[in-house]
Amino acid sequence: MAAVDLTSHPGHLARRLQQAHHLLWNAMVSEEITSPQFAVLNALVAEPGLDQRTAGERVGLDRSTIAEVISRLVRRGLLDKVRDPRDGRRFLLGLTDDGLRTHRRLTVRTARMNQVLLSPLSAAEQTVFLELIQRVADAAEGLRNPAEPVAAPS
């Protein structure tokens, strides 16, 4: 049996891209705040007062992962988490002053990191690449049963 050419496997390429992103993140952005944690901070800058479930949806994290990310951010003093007075099952999230400062500082660093990550591509290629990867990511999040293929756009 012949070896498979993994350069045509999107999952393999996505893993390699994620690995490069992780290395750049740790070197250029933060060793303390992870990319998913930054995404939550960013979501709360865009929409202050989100509940925990909605924050997870905004950043593409499942229920257990968003709960852990939020717990870590609360322990670091970057987020406040309070019960929704209208629905005791929900938690509302808010950035602390330290959370806002951290977001501001990391935003500059993420911009530089993204420039490095995308530097092999021209500006036009970067735009197309980001549009395509966004489309694939959006479709992947919508999968309910991986055995059923997602219909291609017409």
Arithmetic mean of pLDDT over the chain = 92
Q: Give the CATH number of domain 13-141; options: 1.10.10.10, 1.10.3210.10, 1.10.3720.10, 2.60.40.10.
A: 1.10.10.10
pLDDT at 154 exceeding the cut of 60:
no
How buried is residue 38: exposed, middle or buried, by Cβ count under 10 Å (0-12/13-18/19+)? buried
pTM (predicted TM-score) = 0.86
pLDDT in tens, 23-53: 999 999 999 999 999 999 999 999 999 999 9
CA 11 to chain centre: 17
Helix (H, G, I), strand (E, B) or coil at 95: strand
Band the pLDDT of 153: cuts 50, 70, 90: low
Among residues 101, 110, 134, the alpha carbon closest in space to that of 39 is found at: 110
